[in-house]
């Protein structure tokens, strides 16, 4: 019942993220999965005061949607989450400069190739002369994108110590902060990051030009045929080259890197405001449902029936013994792959936070209930009250007052832990900070702003809970 209510609530709530596919959506939509940090393929850009995902991959996707007579819906996520999203039916196709390797072909189908690029080695300008050949990269620390063809190239370098991350901007940050000494990227992508600090080494990977193709779910021959038809038309009209040129011009129009933290915050305040709204929604619903689940599990653990005690104990041990990120992946991808249950990022986030918080709140409630003198329950029963009524009117009010500080601490924890949901494309504070980082090419300021916002939220919440605690304890002093 709680699960059904979460789904219903997050479907009708005004800020809920809309999603759909060509197969199960009422209106015809084409859902595209991409990792929008791969300029000029796909990247975030502020145009006319609005954040938009642009790039020549996006232009191609729009042409495909137009030919299908469908509305294009873009889902931005980590690169290594694209294949699970496609296999689970969460998206209809993926476009992210993806190379159609033999391993990937075992999981998904690919369209005809639409672009070719070569690989380059990005280094700090001071180290340009250190790597004249690929042999000089042996035993070096190298940054690559997780799950990419560049990671495969790096694995072939003897002794190389690879740092594989989702975002290209994070890899460049690793390079800037001396955590890696080189990064393998595509030449078109590297062009967006070259400046006074970052340059290209003479060393060039021996691999042939990397081809880019569009990923389609296996068995979806109708969409595959339509995609290939659009690509053939774009190639014959020489439009793809035009799209690459236009995307490269957009990429070259960078935001000034010398903006200070206050300028960055003011310019992108609407981004962070949206993130705050989603974070508060996730946290509030996570705590509300977490309290309900926690109370139920607590009563199970204290029940006289052994099977209920076993269920309560098993729930607490399993949830507390597994990382929240794993739980999120199971709910968001696992249920879709095994049972065909597709939750939106908002729904998956609320469910994950609720069941995770419920395990900890169950133990908090159990401690509060056991802290109430057992004689009060026995006295209530001797006056003719049933066990349920005694718990409701006598024990639980006192237990709640006693554990209120711990519940408040759990609320604060959930606000911070909700940042994990950003890995599946939930537009919370951390997601928006990553977007601002990709737009501004600044590695520190966007996250300092996010940290300040989290602090303000948790500080205000702590003060409000403190006032509530003092108000409830006022009667104890009379």
Token pair recorded at residue 47: 């145009």
In the predicted structure, residue 1 carries a pLDDT above the cut 70 = no
The alpha-helical segments, DSSP class H, found in 420-475 are 429-440, 445-473
Domain boundaries, the chain: 19-115+211-253, 119-208, 264-477
> Measured at the alpha carbon of residue 277, what is the angle toward residues 350 and 47, in degrees to the nearest 5?
120
In the predicted structure, residue 351 carries a pLDDT above the cut 50 = yes
Confidence at 253, pLDDT banded by 50, 70, 90: low
- List pLDDT tens digits, range 266-297: 888 888 999 999 999 998 898 889 989 998 99
pLDDT at 97: 86
3-state DSSP call for residue 138? coil
The CATH fold of domain 19-115+211-253: D-Maltodextrin-Binding Protein; domain 2 (3.40.190)
pLDDT at 257: 59
In the predicted structure, residue 10 carries a pLDDT above the cut 70 = no
Pairing of strands 93-94, 215-216: antiparallel
CATH class assigned to 119-208:
alpha beta
- Whether 19-115+211-253 shares its CATH topology with 264-477 is answered no
In the predicted structure, residue 20 carries a pLDDT above the cut 50 = no
In the predicted structure, residue 258 carries a pLDDT above the cut 50 = yes
DSSP assignment of 15-68: TPPP---TTT-SS-EEEEEE-SEETTTEEEEEETTEEEEESHHHHHHHHHHHHH
pLDDT at 314: 94
pLDDT at 310: 93
Q: What is the CA radius of gyration of the chain?
A: 26
3-state DSSP call for residue 429? helix
Sequence-separated (6 or more) residues with CB below 8 Å from residue 220: 92, 109
> Stretch 30-50: mean pLDDT, rounded?
86
Lowest-confidence range among 120-129, 270-279, 385-394?
385-394
Lowest-confidence range among 175-179, 381-385, 446-450, 471-475?
471-475
pLDDT at 176: 87
Confidence at 391, pLDDT banded by 50, 70, 90: confident
Nearest residue to 187 (alpha-carbon basis) of 175, 200, 174:
200
pLDDT at 70: 93
> Stretch 336-358: mean pLDDT, rounded?
88
In the predicted structure, residue 14 carries a pLDDT above the cut 60 = no
In the predicted structure, residue 394 carries a pLDDT above the cut 90 = no
> Stretch 366-382: mean pLDDT, rounded?
78
Percentage of residues in the chain having pLDDT higher than 70: 91
> Stretch 429-450: mean pLDDT, rounded?
85
The CATH fold of domain 264-477: MetI-like fold (1.10.3720)
The pTM is what? 0.72
């Amino acid at each position: 019942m709680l699960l059904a209510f979460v789904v219903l609530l997050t479907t009708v709530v005004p800020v809920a993220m809309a999603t759909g596919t060509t197969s199960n959506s009422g209106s015809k939509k084409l859902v595209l999965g991409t990792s929008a940090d791969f300029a000029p393929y796909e990247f975030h850009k502020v145009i006319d005061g609005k954040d938009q995902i642009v790039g020549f991959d996006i232009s191609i996707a729009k042409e495909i949607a137009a030919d299908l007579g469908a509305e294009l819906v873009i889902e931005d996520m980590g690169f290594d989450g694209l294949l699970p999203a496609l296999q689970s039916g969460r998206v209809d196709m993926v476009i992210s400069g993806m190379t159609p390797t033999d391993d990937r072909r075992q999981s998904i189908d690919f369209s005809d190739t639409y672009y070719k690029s070569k690989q380059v080695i990005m280094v700090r300008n001071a180290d340009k002369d250190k790597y004249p050949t690929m042999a000089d990269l042996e035993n070096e620390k190298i940054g690559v994108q997780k799950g990419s063809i560049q990671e495969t190239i790096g694995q072939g370098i003897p002794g190389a110590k690879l740092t594989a991350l989702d975002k290209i901007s994070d890899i460049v940050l690793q390079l800037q902060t001396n955590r890696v000494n080189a990064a393998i990227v595509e030449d078109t992508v590297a062009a967006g990051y070259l400046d006074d600090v970052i340059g290209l080494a003479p060393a060039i990977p021996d691999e042939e030009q990397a081809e880019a193709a569009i990923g389609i779910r296996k068995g979806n021959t109708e969409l595959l045929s339509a995609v290939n038809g659009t690509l053939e038309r774009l190639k014959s009209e020489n439009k793809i080259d035009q799209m690459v040129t236009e995307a490269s011009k957009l990429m070259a129009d960078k935001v000034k890197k010398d903006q200070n933290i206050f300028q960055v915050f003011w310019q992108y305040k609407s981004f962070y405001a949206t993130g705050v709204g989603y974070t508060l929604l996730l946290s509030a619903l996570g705590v509300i449902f977490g309290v309900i689940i926690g109370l139920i599990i607590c009563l199970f653990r204290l029940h006289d029936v052994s099977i209920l005690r076993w269920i309560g104990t098993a729930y607490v041990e399993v949830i507390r013994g597994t990382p929240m990120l794993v739980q999120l992946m199971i709910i968001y991808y696992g249920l879709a792959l095994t049972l065909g249950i597709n939750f939106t990022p908002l729904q998956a986030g609320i469910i994950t936070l609720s069941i995770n918080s419920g395990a900890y709140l169950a133990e908090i409630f159990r401690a509060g209930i056991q802290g109430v003198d057992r004689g009060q329950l026995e006295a209530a029963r001797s006056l003719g009250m049933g066990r349920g009524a005694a718990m409701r009117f006598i024990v639980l009010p006192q237990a709640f007052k006693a554990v209120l500080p711990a519940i408040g601490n759990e609320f604060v924890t959930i606000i911070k832990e909700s940042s994990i949901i950003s890995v599946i494309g939930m537009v919370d504070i951390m997601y928006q900070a990553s977007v601002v980082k990709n737009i501004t090419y600044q590695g520190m300021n966007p996250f300092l702003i996010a940290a300040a916002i989290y602090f303000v939220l948790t500080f205000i919440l702590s003060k409000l809970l403190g006032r509530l605690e003092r108000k409830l304890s006022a009667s104890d002093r009379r």
